[in-house]
């Protein structure tokens, strides 16, 4: 595409950020949403509207990109959007085709549309290939870098990861802005799809600040929001002036549009909302486990994720196996908040080992939430199974086989209700349990979505207290009592695992901070304890490999972002 030069001697440009929630592959919905925002921006007199990375198809599209029809539909949507870009410029993300035979077939691109034409296309250079990202599988990196000219302004347009290398990242040899700055741009604009974790919002602000500081230019940063299965996008789009002050920051976990006026002298008409000294310069993962860190944002992320998972999949109602314990209580409360209590059912499945207060606590929780529940005792079923197995078990002592049998009975019953009433089972396993294998395959590990699978037990308690911040939703006894699976008389979790306040910090060092055993022991932890815990983590990878999608809220979650061999020998 040729560059378009429009000469205007003095011009203040009104720019709109459109922070939207897209649905992967739902081209009709995404395009309608984009066009609606364009029309609103035109009514407000905007000159340019900016959308997020791969807005047309949704992010991350993954192997859908291997379907020619998928790519063609995206290109057709660009034509539809282009028809709306008459008196307004539109910067929008979508795949584009690589015309060269060499390399991958596609680019991850940003289109500049204006006067019902494609005025320019910019390709993403830095294709992340770590954690949850796998872009180099699909896209060819950009090999040339040019600014876009629009209404007398020179725009340095980049896409997401392109701003995360400031020349000091050994993963990348190229820094796109180093090339673009040679062309004397007036402003930087970044189209992003940057996922949530409980430290990443600060990280994004810091990286925008570092870019502004290095290139002495203002930046418009447009992020997406919404949940795509396990990945949550939290928004937080922002505008930063050349002095590193934030002019505006869009809300988190909500769709929003905001217009700013970029003046001809390189400043913004709008006042500063956050001064540079209050903008973080670095992203810091806590050195030690902090159960309360970012708990308010974690709460919002999980609510959005449950709501989007059901909405985008066309599901209506959920079921939770409610035990009277902390994990199921938190999941039930979150589900009611996300979906409405009328769309959530609790199923209480007491055995002869269940304490009376567990049943009464679970009942009280459902009453507090005004949510329906049923009680189906499993004692008779368990005894029937045990009787049938007796000739094979041959009077061997009660052990984990009978414990897991109870869990699998519960799994079968809750799935029966899910099938009968068209419900989706929300799993209640937490990260501490998943890490150590403290769960039963085809029993309590069943479910369509792992709500707490990226929260350590200590974080689950912190989230329960946060849910109760305005009143006693979760009964106090559920929060205060010692955790137990109640699969045998007097059982406590601590019979099988270290106390959670000991376990969680070691798991955090190994999983989030990727510390090896010697490093963790050097921090003062007992060698035998560390060896035992890390062996549990590694030998139970086969269980996690069969687990449902987990809502990602940390920098390192189980699932697509953590790929370790099931049969690996390391630490085993």
Residues designated catalytic: 53, 124, 160
Query: Other CB atoms closer than 10 Å to residue 419's CB: what's the count?
Result: 10
DSSP 448-475: SEESSTTS-HHHHHHHHHHHGGGS-SS-
> Residue 63 has what DSSP assignment?
G
12 CB-near residues (< 8 Å, 6+ apart):
261, 262, 263, 264, 269
Q: How far is CA 74 from the centre of its chain?
A: 24
What is the C-alpha to C-alpha distance for residues 340 and 452, in angstroms, rounded to an integer? 19
Tokens encoding 500: 């959670």
19 CB-near residues (< 8 Å, 6+ apart):
52, 222, 223, 224, 225, 235, 237, 250, 254, 255, 256, 257, 258
Residues 111, 78 contacting (CB under 8 angstroms): yes
Query: Other CB atoms closer than 10 Å to residue 526's CB: what's the count?
Result: 13
What is the C-alpha to C-alpha distance for residues 230 and 221, in angstroms, rounded to an integer? 24
Residues 541, 437 contacting (CB under 8 angstroms): no
Q: What is the dihedral of CA 516, 522, 525, 527, to 10 degrees?
A: 70
373 CB-near residues (< 8 Å, 6+ apart):
322, 345, 346, 347, 348, 362, 363, 366
Residues 418, 410 contacting (CB under 8 angstroms): no
234 CB-near residues (< 8 Å, 6+ apart):
195, 196, 200, 201, 223, 225, 252, 253, 297, 300, 301
33 CB-near residues (< 8 Å, 6+ apart):
20, 22
| Nearest alpha-carbon partner for 23 in 288, 309, 257 | 309
């Amino acid at each position: 595409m040729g560059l378009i030069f429009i000469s205007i001697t003095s011009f203040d440009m009104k720019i709109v950020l459109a922070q939207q929630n897209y649905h992967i592959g739902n081209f009709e919905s995404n395009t309608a949403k984009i066009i609606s925002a364009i029309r609103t921006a035109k009514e407000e007199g905007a000159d340019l509207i900016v959308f997020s990375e791969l807005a047309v198809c949704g992010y991350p599209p993954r192997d859908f990109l291997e379907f020619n029809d998928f790519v063609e539909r995206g290109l057709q949507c660009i034509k539809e959007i282009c028809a709306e870009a008459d008196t307004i410029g539109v910067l929008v993300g979508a795949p584009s085709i690589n015309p060269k035979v060499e390399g991958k077939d596609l680019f991850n691109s940003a289109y500049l549309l204006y006067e019902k034409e494609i005025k320019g296309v910019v390709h993403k250079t830095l294709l992340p290939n770590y954690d949850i990202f796998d872009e180099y599988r699909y896209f060819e990196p950009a090999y040339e870098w040019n600014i876009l000219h629009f209404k007398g302004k020179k725009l340095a347009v980049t896409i997401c990861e392109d701003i995360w290398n400031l020349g000091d990242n050994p993963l990348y040899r190229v820094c796109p802005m180093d090339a673009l700055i040679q062309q004397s741009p007036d402003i930087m604009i970044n189209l992003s799809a940057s996922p949530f974790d409980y430290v990443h919002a600060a990280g994004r602000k810091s990286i925008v600040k570092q870019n502004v500081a290095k290139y002495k230019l203002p930046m418009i940063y447009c992020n997406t929001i919404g949940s795509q299965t396990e990945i949550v996008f939290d928004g937080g789009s922002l505008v930063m002036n050349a002095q590193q002050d934030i002019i505006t920051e869009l809300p988190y976990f909500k769709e929003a549009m905001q217009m700013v006026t970029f003046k001809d002298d390189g400043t913004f008409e709008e006042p500063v909302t956050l001064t540079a000294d209050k903008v973080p310069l670095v992203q810091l993962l806590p050195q030690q486990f902090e159960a309360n860190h970012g708990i308010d944002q974690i709460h919002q992320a999980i609510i959005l994720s449950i709501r989007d998972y059901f909405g985008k999949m066309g599901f209506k109602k959920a079921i939770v196996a409610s035990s009277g314990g902390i994990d199921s209580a938190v999941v039930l409360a979150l589900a009611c908040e996300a979906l409405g209590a009328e769309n959530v059912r609790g199923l209480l499945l007491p055995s002869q080992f269940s304490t009376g207060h567990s049943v009464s606590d679970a009942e009280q929780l459902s009453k507090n939430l005004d949510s329906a529940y049923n009680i189906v005792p499993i004692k008779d079923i368990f005894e029937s199974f045990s009787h049938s197995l007796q000739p094979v078990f041959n009077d061997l002592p009660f052990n984990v086989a009978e414990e897991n049998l109870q869990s699998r009975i519960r799994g079968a019953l809750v799935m029966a209700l899910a099938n009968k009433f068209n419900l989706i089972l929300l799993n209640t396993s937490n990260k501490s349990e998943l890490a150590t294998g403290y769960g039963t395959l085809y029993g309590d590990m069943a479910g369509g979505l792992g709500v707490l699978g990226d929260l350590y037990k200590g974080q689950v308690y912190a989230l329960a207290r946060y849910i109760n911040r305005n009143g006693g939703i979760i009964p106090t006894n559920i929060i205060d009592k010692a955790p137990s699976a109640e699969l045998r008389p007097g059982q406590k979790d601590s019979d099988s695992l270290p106390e959670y306040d000991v376990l969680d910090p070691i798991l955090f060092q190994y999983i989030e901070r990727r510390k090896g055993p010697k490093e963790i022991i050097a921090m003062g932890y007992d060698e035998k304890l560390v060896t035992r815990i890390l062996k549990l983590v590694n030998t139970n990878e086969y269980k996690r490999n069969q687990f449902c999608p987990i809502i990602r809220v940390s920098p390192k979650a189980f699932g697509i972002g953590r790929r370790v061999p099931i049969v690996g020998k390391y630490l085993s």
